[in-house]
Every structure is written in structure tokens, then in C-alpha cells.
Chain A
Amino acid sequence: MTNQAIGFSNPKPDEFQSGALITNENREIVYANTYFSDELNWTLKKLLGQSSDVLFTISSKIFCESYLMPLLIHEKKCEEMQLTLFDGNGKRVPVIVSAKMDEKSCIYWSFFNASKRDKLYEELIDARKELEAQAKTLKLMASTDELTGLMNRRELNLRAPEVINQAKRYTHNIALLMIDIDHFKKINDAHGHLEGDRVLKALGQKLLKFGRQTDLIARFGGEEFIMLLPDTNTSNAKIFARRLHQLTSGIEVNHAPVTVSIGITMTDGSHSLDDLTNQADGALYEAKKNGRNKTEFYKET
């Protein structure tokens, strides 16, 4: 059997409901079917002899050059690529393109209108964007202490192991500071919870401002804060704590400066976060016992 349609004027082999185009080795259009005039408002006269570039938007041209053409040259065909065409009136039309290239570098293009599919894509992209934004918000909410804006205990638990591991890998020391506001219960009792909240927020802000970008600063719970300082030795930590006492005294309740007690422990990365918080907690207890508004270091017994 031979293909009887070729050579006949009825049925017309030119009349498919999709665009068909042939370009020569110079990428000039040598054939376009009636779809271009019937559906895309081009006239044959305007297309024949022109570079196929006249059909594509700028972004589609970039896509053609960096993806479609290399693919055609290497694989001799490409399938199901979405591009945007200009119709004869300059209107943008989304299309699905499949094309193949023969041994003489002629390209046989077929185009299918993809307006509906494009709408679906748009919706999918919007949905993805919305989900990404939601995920970001959720992640922030799950990792942040609402009152102070610092990271919460859960986030600290997630991020501290990496910092501790790095200390081990790069052989430096880290300091963990546990900071507790002195007589916080009295502030709450005497001046109300709003005043207590204000103090917590103010201290959180000061810690954040004072800390370096690589420090982990968290509200550990109640009136307790933790700072994990990478690449810090004992004398750095001492100076750091002294500055913290100074900074804190800038917060006042009823004209009296707020004070904190600080427990510090040092590690070369060979301790877990749990170990470190326990050690710092012990040192903090010593600082409280010794009269508050003090820093104590954990001492191994």
C-alpha cells in the first residue's frame, strides 16, 4: 500500500490541526502548512525564506540555543518541549514542540497549541510557590521561640550537633553558655507577666546583637538562654561572659538593673549537647549559689 493522500487535493495532506514546518540547513523556513495561516494568522509570504527565529519569543530563542538545538544536533530529535511562539499578530502562543533533524540538517518541526496545558502548568507552579512559602513559614514557626524570636530548644537540638562536629573536625574549642535571669520569678510576681516578657525579649535582642553570625543562640525554656560559641577558648569565653553581664545591666526593672547568672562549659567537640547542657547547668547552679550575677565554669570532678 502506498500513502494515497500524497498527491491528492482532497483529502488535503496539508490540513492537520497542528503546525508543521520545515527549515533548511540555514534554519530558513522552506515549508509551512496551512495551520500557520488558518490558526496562527501568518501568511506564507511572511514566513517562507525567513529564519525560524521570527516565530519565537526572546526567551524561547534562548531556550532553543541552549537546549533544543544542541539536543537536535546530538540526538537528531527532540520531543515535547514547551516554547512560546508569536502568531502573525505578535500574540504569544504557548506550544508543544517536537522536531527532528535529517542528515542534511533540515529540521522538521511540529507544533501543538498548548494553551490549556499551559494554564495547568501555571496553576501547578503557583501551587508549588504557595507550598514553598507555607513550608518556609512553618519551618520558621517550628524553629523559633515566639516571644524572643531566637531559635527554640528544638532547633538548637537539631543544629548543635553539626557545630560540635565541626569543632572536632577543625580541632577548635567551643563554649556553651547557659544564661539565667536572676530573680525572674520576683519580676513576674511584682510587676506582672508582661514586664517579665519585656525583659525576656530585651535580653533576647541583646544576645542576638552581641552574638556572631556563627553562634547558636536559643531560648532554652523559661528564663534560660543558651549560647553555643564555635571557635572560642576559655579566655575568650570569660571576656564574652563579662560583656554579657554588662549588657544585661542595661535592662532595667523599676530602675534596678537586671542581672544574670552564667554557667559555662568548654569542649573540643567530644561531648554531646546533653552532656554540655548538664555541665553548664551545674556551673550555673554554682553561680547562683555563690550569690548570683556571676559566671562559673564547669569543673570536672
Chain B
Amino acid sequence: MPFADKIIKRNNVTILGSGQKTLLLAHGFGCDQNMWRFMLPALTPYYKVLLFDYVGSGKSDISHYDQARYSSLEGYAQDILDICEALDLQDVIFVGNSVSSMTGLIASIQKPKVFHKLIMICPSPCFLNFKPEYIGGFEKVDLEELIDLMDKNYIGWANYLAPLVIGSDNSEKLVGELSGSFCSTDPIVAKAFAKATFFSDYRHLLKDAKHPVKIFQSSHDALASTDVGSYMAQQLPKAELQIVEAEGHCLHMTHPDIINKGLRDYID
């Protein structure tokens, strides 16, 4: 099988819509490309939109899973670069949720030519606290306990994993709808993704960004505070921060209209 076909199958790449500009949407931890479904209707008439699942997530081909490769975000960034190479992409507008903001940043620094702009939805370069200079939001003991809980709730947890929406103010109906498609994953794979996500520290990379970045930050997000957003906007060479008055970590699911408008204003 030629390289391109192999990658398209491996990462379950979906190509939608048409337009001059190409958007590549990258999902966060605990989900797959389905999490973009609320944003798509407003995007596909104007842009070519590419969706994919990281190896180990969604309907990707798990036979390509490699524990060493996917133990750090560089491995996930390589998935992004592989997809761009397979489809011969250039000037991509990359949109990432949560951890994918950082994988996108890693990829864009490695192959600047492929990218044009980066959009980050509820990003965090580092979830750990390094007091006093940086407050990522979590003490090490909390994150270790989180990984522990994944071990201790082994099977059930991975079968019913829902996107990390986190916002008790979001209505039950909305949470129900958002979590409607549980992401049944292999627990070992999901745990490795969680480890790579929650224990990573890529603060040092921010200053090396080669593209303009737009950050959407939620005003009340248990996983990434507005301080984290301000920190990023300060460290990135060229960044724009928009605080969205909302609860939770998945603005593209809870507030797709606001994100779509902000995104279109930024790229058009």
C-alpha cells in the first residue's frame, strides 16, 4: 500500500467540504474526531476540513500502536506530520483542542512550511504546578492519583470514556449529548495518552512558535485556567487570546458558534 493510503487508513482521516483554505482539526484526550461534529456545519461550506483520530483513538488502526512512540506528545505530533505528508498539505490552518494544541505546536515547529496559522482551544503547555512561577492547576499527587484511578477502574473506564467537558454548570442535556458517543478505547492505550497529556511540560517550546496563534480560553475551566491562557499568550511570539465566558474544557462542543465565529474572523 502506498504511504498516503497507509496513513489515511491508519489515522482514519476524513476529508470534508471544499474551499481555498484547509483546516486540520485535532481532537483532545478522551475522544476522537467525533468531538468536532458540532462545529462542522458552519465550516464545510467554506473550507476543506480534515479530521483524523490519533493512533490508539477512535477508529484508527491500533495495529500501528507503538508504546514507545506514543509515550510522549512528539509521537502524536508525528501522526499530524505524517497526515500532512500523505496528503501533501501546505499552509494548513491547524485547530487543536486541549493537548492537541501542543502536538500541533510541536509539529509546526518541526515542519513550519506545512502550516499557516494555529488555533488552540483550551490549551495548556503544562498541567503541573511549578510554584511560584507557574500554576498549571495540578499538584503531582493529583495527577498520579488520576493515572492510578485509571488503573483501578481498569476496564469500565476505558469503555465509557467521554470527552473531558468538565463543567458542572453545563446542563445535563448538553453533557448527555456531548458524551453521546463514548469513546471505547483500549485501557493501556488511553492510559498512555493520559500520561503523555497530563505529565508533559512544553512551556519551553512556546517562544519557538513559528506561526501566529489564536487561543480560545474558557473563563471557567478546571483543567486550564485563564492564567494559563495569559501565560501562553505572553510566551508565544505572536498570539491573540480570546476568553470565552463559559464552563468547561471543550468550547468547540459546548459553544461551537462562538468558536466558529472567532475562528473565521481570525483566518479570513
Contact = CB atoms under 8 A, between A and B. Distances in A.
A143 to B, nearest CB: 14
A53 B146 CA distance: 16
Given A66-B30, A125-B148, A81 B153 contact: yes
A63 B149 contact: yes
Interface string B158-191: 0011111111100010011001101000000000
Contact of A169 (B1, B157, B223): B1
A58 interface: yes
A71 interface: yes
Contacts of A69: 175, 179
Contact of A73 (B3, B146, B172): B172
B149 A59 contact: yes
A233 interface: no
A232 interface: no
A70 B149 contact: no
Contacts of A51: 168
Interface size class of A (residues with CB under 8 A): 20 to 34
Contacts of B223: 62
Contacts of A14: none
B172 A59 contact: no
A81 B151 CA distance: 11
A61 interface: yes
A66 B164 contact: yes
Given A59-B149, A83-B149, A84-B149, A65 B166 contact: yes
Interface in A68-119: 69-71, 73-74, 80-84, 92, 105, 118
Interface in A28-76: 51, 53, 57-63, 65-67, 69-71, 73-74
B168 A67 contact: no
Interface residues of B, number: 33
A71 B179 CA distance: 9
A67 B3 contact: no
A67 B162 contact: yes
Contacts of A66: 30, 161-166
A170 interface: yes
A121 interface: yes
Nearest to B31: A66
Contacts of B149: 59-60, 63, 82-84
Contact of B182 (A25, A61, A70, A105): A70
A125 B188 CA distance: 13
B143 interface: yes
Interface in B165-224: 165-168, 172, 175-176, 179-180, 182, 222-223
B142 interface: yes
A59 B165 contact: no
B117 to A, nearest CB: 30
A73 B177 CA distance: 10
B59 to A, nearest CB: 20
* Residue of A27, A82, A92, A170 most packed against chain B (CB within 10 A): A82
Contacts of B163: 66
Interface in B101-159: 138, 142-143, 145-146, 148-149, 151-153, 156-157
Interface in A151-174: 169-170
B160 A121 contact: no
A68 B258 CA distance: 28
A74 B156 contact: no
Given A57-B142, A70-B175, A70-B179, A65 B153 contact: no
B164 A58 contact: no
* Residue of B149, B151, B156 most packed against chain A (CB within 10 A): B149
Nearest to A27: B168
Contacts of A62: 146, 164, 166, 222-223
16 contacts: A53-B168, A59-B142, A61-B166, A65-B166, A70-B160, A70-B162, A70-B182, A71-B160, A73-B172, A73-B175, A73-B179, A82-B152, A84-B145, A92-B145, A118-B152, A170-B3
Interface of A: 25, 27, 51, 53, 57-63, 65-67, 69-71, 73-74, 80-84, 92, 105, 118, 121, 125, 169-170
